Amino acid sequence: MKHWRETAEIVNRAIALASAGRRAALATVVRIEGSSYRRPGAKFLIEEDGETLGGVSGGCLEADVRDVGLRVIQTAVPKLLHYDTGTDDRTVWGLGLGCNGSVDIFVQPATEPVTLEALREIRTRLEGGSGFAIVTAIDGEGGHGRMLIADLPARDTRSRVESRDSGRVFTEILTPPPDLIVCGAGDDSRPLVAYASEAGFAVTVVDHREAFLASSRFPSAKHRLCLRADAGIGALRAGPRTLVVIKTHSFVHDRDWLTFFLDTPVSYIGLLGPRTRAEELLALLGVTSNDRVFAPVGLNLGADGPEQIAISIVSELLAVLGRQQPGHLREKGLAIHAC
């Protein structure tokens, strides 16, 4: 889900550079095997003066990809890179990173006319808010680097490399980020909105107090709405891809928001506060059990204070979205991104 926001930032930057007469190259992760910090679709923009935006690894590959990107800017010829991140110092590129995996990265000119045309269409699609696919030719006779923008395929919607008669293509799937509605604009909501936005959620903050919704308090929020649960709620999008955190610090307001969202198809309702308070609220509403309600909200991280509690909540949101049972990665026994 972070790909949507990252792609928007990089596409906008590339278009702005081209408008200013400057050049750049775009690097995209197209395939991973074993352990890898980023997934297919992760992007890295290299500007002609060496400035960069985004990333394709945890920092171990960027320097080399940057050098390749600078050469691609000069030659205007795309290049497909393969990095073996095993322990052998004699592996590809001599990096020997010890990560026990491999990564393929496609580097192409970002500010050439043909690519720019595709990037402008991608920007339009991102602004439209509907999912789509980017199909990029990464090798083959002529035309590699060309990008086709298409509607989402009906079948498997995973980003992947495929072989076709003309060569291999990378099909990148972009789906809009899930919506997170935070009910309550108190000071402790500020780190939650900031962290959730950085993680890729499209965050809406709702409160009945206009002054608490100042843009300076929630600069990363997509929407800030002055609402009560019993009025104007038609402005809220509350579908199956919506998650909700209720934290108004008012029993009555929490009750009203909980009543409203229980009657919607949202997939997750987190409720701040002690367990006894949550049980009292649910009993008041005649709800004995509901798998969508997470109360108290957040993972058990031993959190203390608004920032740490926000981390525990965002961690739970990611676990629920990814259908993962939270635990230590050292206990997983598989590659980090293995299902």
Q: Residue 88 pLDDT more than 70? A: no
* Region 110-131 average pLDDT: 94
Tokens for 315, please give them.
């961690």
CA distance 126 to 215: 23
| Per-residue pLDDT at 89 | 46
Q: Residue 94 pLDDT more than 50? A: no
Q: Which residue has the tokens 């506060």?
A: 273
| Per-residue pLDDT at 195 | 97
pLDDT band at 277, cuts 50/70/90? very high
Q: Residue 92 pLDDT more than 90? A: no
| Per-residue pLDDT at 98 | 46
pLDDT band at 96, cuts 50/70/90? very low
CA distance 213 to 187: 11
Percent with pLDDT over 90 in the chain: 73
| Per-residue pLDDT at 87 | 52
Q: Which residue has the tokens 């596409």?
A: 11
Burial annotation 186-197 (CB, 10 A radius, 16+ → b, else e): bebbbbbbbbbb
- Helix 251-262 × helix 275-284 angle, to 10°: 60
pLDDT band at 100, cuts 50/70/90? low
State pLDDT tens for residues 40-86.
999 999 999 999 999 998 888 999 999 999 999 999 999 999 998 66
- Give 327's contacts (C-beta < 8 A, 6+ positions apart): none
| Per-residue pLDDT at 237 | 80
Q: Residue 310 pLDDT more than 50? A: yes
Sheet of 293-294, strand order? 223-226, 202-207, 179-183, 242-246, 268-271, 293-294
* Region 270-287 average pLDDT: 94
Percent with pLDDT over 70 in the chain: 91
Q: Residue 289 pLDDT more than 70? A: yes
CA distance 310 to 196: 8
State pLDDT tens for residues 150-183.
998 777 678 999 998 778 999 999 999 999 999 9
Class of 179-321 per CATH?
alpha beta
| Per-residue pLDDT at 309 | 97
Q: State the pairing for strand pair 202-207/223-226.
A: parallel
Tokens for 206, please give them.
């709702």
| Per-residue pLDDT at 152 | 87
Rounded to the nearest integer, the mean pLDDT of the chain is 90
| Per-residue pLDDT at 14 | 98
CA distance 306 to 308: 6
Q: Where are the domains of the chain?
A: 2-174, 179-321
| Per-residue pLDDT at 153 | 77
Q: Residue 95 pLDDT more than 60? A: no
Q: Residue 140 pLDDT more than 80? A: no
| Per-residue pLDDT at 312 | 97
Report the phi/psi class of residue 300: left, alpha or beta, with left for phi > 0 and alpha for psi in -120 to 50.
beta
State pLDDT tens for residues 2-52.
889 999 999 999 999 999 999 999 999 999 987 677 899 999 999 999 999
Report the phi/psi class of residue 252: left, alpha or beta, with left for phi > 0 and alpha for psi in -120 to 50.
alpha
| Per-residue pLDDT at 235 | 73
